[in-house]
């Protein structure tokens, strides 16, 4: 993803969650995904999918069982 994609995704997530602590960062050696952080804590990945001229983004976040305790 390019810098424009990263900025748009970060702005969207910050507005959606009403939280300026959300950060979207490029991944080293990867062009199809970015990392998502809350403050300094990694929380997931966003993948870019282009199919038949349409673009969508898939946010994947793992929640570990012990985090729910």
Cβ atoms of 48 and 55 within 8 Å: the answer is yes
1-49 pLDDT, tens digit per residue, is 999 999 999 999 999 999 999 999 999 999 999 999 999 999 999 999 9
Range list of β-strands (E), 3-62: 22-26, 33-38, 41-51, 54-60
How far, CA to CA in Å, does 24 sit from each of 37, 52, 62? 6, 26, 16
Provide the whole-model pTM. 0.88
């Amino acid at each position: 993803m390019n810098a424009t994609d990263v900025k748009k995704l970060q702005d969207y997530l910050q507005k959606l969650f009403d939280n300026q602590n959300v950060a979207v960062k490029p991944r080293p050696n990867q062009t199809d995904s970015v990392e998502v952080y809350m403050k300094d804590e990694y929380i997931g990945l966003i993948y870019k999918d282009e199919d038949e001229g349409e673009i969508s983004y898939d946010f994947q976040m793992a929640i570990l069982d012990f985090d729910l305790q």
